[in-house]
Structure 1
Amino acid sequence: MKAKLECVVLDCPDPIALAEFYRSIIGGTVNQPDRRWTTEYGDATLHLESGFVLNFQLVEDYRPPRWPDPAFPQQFHLDFAVPDLDEAQEEVLALGATLLDDTQGWRTLADPVGHPFCLVRDWSLLPDDGEAAG
């Protein structure tokens, strides 16, 4: 399996504000329509010219990290685009991952030491029907 790193997801209390902050630093477009992500749950996206996306995930009781205090760890996860979710899930489970959730149309797993990551459908392999996820 060769997955594509497609997105980095950061927890935060105000997704739009954080997306605008990073847009001011690196450019891009906030909440560009894209069938790969939805913003209907309060999340925001920042699409960069390179095609890479940052996603800002709403967390109601957000506690910021305190570098380098492990009691308040860094809060982000990786999204990997794969051609087949079932096949990719089997492969990463065999490598030592643990399935956390598969109810959202993508798969959330933990690496062998507990860091969450997601396997998502590789939309670039599907015909573009003009639909955006959010």
Structure 2
Amino acid sequence: MTVAKLGAVVLDCPDPRALAGFYAEVLGGTVEGDEEWVDLKVPDGRTLAFQAAPGFVPPAWPAPEQSQQFHLDLTVEDLDAAEQSVLALGAKPLDTDDRSRSWRVYADPAGHPFCLCAC
């Protein structure tokens, strides 16, 4: 029995507009909101939201003694090209050494982990 629908995935961060801008460059879409709450409306109709969080501490990755909280899997056609794009936008590589895998792990500018995954 379905009791709810997913409205949005919300990321806490120190600067919602800046982080929404990063993901708008990665995913496309439009940014709407103020300093406290920003929605990124992506082209497929979904919403990724960003909420101001005073005292934000980014998750550690990998850190078996701490939770990474969550991560986003972003599918791409060309891992190498996508990697260059996200690095140019301010992402940091977390786990990218094994080039034989179909995925690589990065942190967005606020420190949230995300993966680029070959489709």
Q: Normalization by structure 2: what TM-score?
A: 0.51
Find the aligned partners of 1:63 and 1:17 in 2 and give their Cα distance. 16
Greater relative contact order (CA < 8 Å, ≥ 6 in sequence) = 1
Structure 1 residues without counterparts, runs of 5 or longer: 32-38, 77-134
Name the SS for the 2:50 alignment partner. Answer: strand
Q: Following superposition of structure 1 onto structure 2, how do residues 31-70 of structure 1 map, counting pairs within 5 Å? A: 31=32, 39=33, 42-69=36-63, 70=65
Change (3 A) 1:4 1:72: closer
Greater CA radius of gyration, 1 or 2? 1
Q: Following superposition of structure 1 onto structure 2, how do residues 75-114 of structure 1 map, counting pairs within 5 Å? A: none
Tell me the C-alpha RMSD between the 2 structures: 2.1
Q: Which position in structure 1 is the counterpart of 2:23?
A: 22
Q: CA deviation at 1:73?
A: 3.5
- Of all paired residues, the percent bearing the same amino acid is 45
**One-letter amino acid of the structure 2 residue matched with residue 23 of structure 1:** A
The count of corresponding residues between Structure 1 and Structure 2 is 69
Find the aligned partners of 1:41 and 1:14 in 2 and give their Cα distance. 7
Structure 2 residues without counterparts, runs of 5 or longer: 72-119
